[in-house]
Amino acid sequence: MVRHRNELPVPTVVHLHGGRTPPGSDGYPTDLIMPKGKGHSHSMGGHSSMDVGNSHHSRNYTYPNEQRGATLWYHDHRMDFTGPQVWRGLAGFQIIRNDEEESLPLPKGGKDIPLMICDRSFSEDGSFLYPSLDPSLQDEPGVEEDYMDGVLGDVILVNGAPWLVMEVSNTRYRFRILNASNARRYELALDPAPEDSVPFVQIGSDGGLLGAPVPHRTIRIAQAERFDVIVDFSKYAVGAEITLKNLLGNGGARNAMRFRVNRKEKEESTVPRRLSDTGEFDALRESDTIREREFHFTRVSDEGRVMWGINGEPFDTGRMDASPKLGATEIWNLSVAPPHTLSICTWSTSRCSPATVRNPCRRTLAGRTPWISPREKGRACSSGSTATGDATSSTATTWSTRT
C-alpha cells in the first residue's frame, strides 16, 4: 500500500502505468485527491458535473504487485491537466522484480539503472515553461492553439538532469529506458556505435522480460513506452565518450545524454539466450476471439471545447464503451487521427498497416506499447484478466491521451 498526501495547490491523482491494480487504486482521471482547503466545490474545468472522487487530501493506493517482473511507472492523471502536471515532474518509476529474473546472470545492483527520458522547456529564470491557458492549473484546462498537437521541449532531461553525463565501467549495463515525454518520440542510437556488435540488446519491454534477447541498432520509443536493454561498454576504450543520440530530434533535442567510460572492471554478467517463460502470452489465441470492436480516436467538440473522443463521443464517466466478459478474448481495432500515442498494456499486440490489416497479424514483442501512427491501424488481442476481480475494468488495457 502506498499513501499519497496532496500538499500541492491543485488536485492530483496517481496512475500506475502498467500495474495490475484494483479499480479503487487505478488512478482514474476523476478520482482526485483534492488539495487542502478545497473540497467538492473546487472547479473541475469543463467537468464540473462529474464525481470528483474523495474530498480528502490523501489516498491509500493498493498495489498487489502480482504480475510479471517489469518496469512500471506512475504519473499524475488529473482530468484535463495530466500534461502540465507531468511536465512539472509528477512521475516516477515502480520496478517489480521477481525470482525468475533475479536468478539470471544479468547486470545487477549499480549496473541496473532506470533512465527516465523527457523533454522540457525552461523560462529565463529556470522555471518550467508550458503554454497552459491557465498557468496556475486551477480552472481552465488546455494549451494555446499552436500546441494542440502536443507540447515539445528543447532540453532533454534524463532522470531529471539536462543532458546527463554518466560515468560507467567497461562492462555491461542494464538500462530500463522510459520515454516520459508528453509528446516527443525518440529514435535512440549510440554515437559512436560499437564497431563489431549491436549497440542495444533488448531483454524486456513494458510487459517484463522477453523470451529471448533481441538486438537493435536503434531504439524507437514512444511516450510511456519502456525498453529494457543491455549496453556493453567493453566494446569501448577507457576514456571513450558515447552520446545517446535521438535521431528524430533537432537542435538540443538531438542529444539525450552521454556515457563516459572511466574505469576497467571485471565483467560479471552475461546475457542468457533464454530469458523468460512467455507461455502465458502464447495462451492468447486469435482463434479464441469471441468479438471484435472498433475504436477510432479523433478530436470531438464538447460544449465548445475540442477534446479527444472515442468513436465520436467525448469523455464521459457515465458511459461504458466496452464491458468484456472476464477471461474472454477480443480483438480491438484501434485507429487515431490526428497523430497521438495510444498507450495499451496488453498481453499481446500486433501492429499492421492498413494494407495488411486483414491478414493475420505478425505478433510483435509481447507486452509492447504499440506505437500507432495515423496511417496505421493497431490491432490488440486482449483478454480480460482476473487481477481486478471486475470484468468491466479488467481488460488489461489502459488508454492514455495526453496533450
Category of 85 on φ-ψ map: left (φ > 0), alpha (ψ -120 to 50) or beta = alpha
Of the two residues 68 and 75, which places its CB atom closer to Cu ion in the complex? Answer: 75
Of the two residues 82 and 348, which places its CB atom closer to Cu ion in the complex? Answer: 82
* Nearest approach, Cβ of residue 227 and Cu ion (Å): 16
- 67's enclosing H/E stretch is none
Contact by Cβ (8 Å): 94, 74: yes
DSSP letter (8 states) at residue 197: S
- Pick the piece of the chain touching Cu ion (CB under 5 A) from 16-24, 155-163, 248-256, 257-265: 16-24
* Nearest approach, Cβ of residue 65 and Cu ion (Å): 17
Of the two residues 75 and 120, which places its CB atom closer to Cu ion in the complex? Answer: 75
For cell 567497461, what's the residue?
170
For cell 523533454, what's the residue?
119
Give the largest CA-CA distance in the chain: 64
369 touching Cu ion, by CB under 5 A? no
Other CB atoms within a 10 A radius of the CB of residue 289 amount to 15
* Nearest approach, Cβ of residue 224 and Cu ion (Å): 5
* Nearest approach, Cβ of residue 267 and Cu ion (Å): 36
21 touching Cu ion, by CB under 5 A? no
- Pick the piece of the chain touching Cu ion (CB under 5 A) from 10-18, 129-137, 189-197, 259-267: 10-18
C-alpha cell of residue 61: 493506493
Alpha-helix residue ranges (DSSP H) falling in 135-278: none
Of the two residues 276 and 394, which places its CB atom closer to Cu ion in the complex? Answer: 394
* Nearest approach, Cβ of residue 397 and Cu ion (Å): 12
Select from 10, 11, 12, 17 the one that contacts Cu ion (CB under 5 A). Answer: 17
* Nearest approach, Cβ of residue 398 and Cu ion (Å): 7
Of the two residues 74 and 200, which places its CB atom closer to Cu ion in the complex? Answer: 74
Of the two residues 13 and 188, which places its CB atom closer to Cu ion in the complex? Answer: 13
400 touching Cu ion, by CB under 5 A? yes
Q: Which amino acid is at 351?
A: R
| Strand pairing report for 329-336 and 291-302 | parallel
- 82's enclosing H/E stretch is helix 82-87
Q: Please count the residues of this chain forming the interface with Cu ion, following the rule CB under 5 A.
A: 2
C-alpha cell of residue 250: 533537432
* Closest of 188, 380, 183, 199 to residue 289, by C-alpha: 380
* Nearest approach, Cβ of residue 15 and Cu ion (Å): 6
Of the two residues 17 and 235, which places its CB atom closer to Cu ion in the complex? Answer: 17
- Pick the piece of the chain touching Cu ion (CB under 5 A) from 6-14, 352-360, 362-370, 395-403: 395-403
C-alpha cell of residue 397: 488495457
* Nearest approach, Cβ of residue 288 and Cu ion (Å): 28
CA 384 to chain centre: 21
The 102-131 contact track toward Cu ion, x by CB under 5 A, reads ------------------------------
Residues of span 62-91 touching Cu ion by CB under 5 A: none
Residues 6 or more apart whose CB falls under 8 angstroms from that of 257 comprise 115, 117, 156, 158, 163, 164, 165, 166, 243, 244
**Binding residues for Cu ion (CB under 5 A):** 17, 400
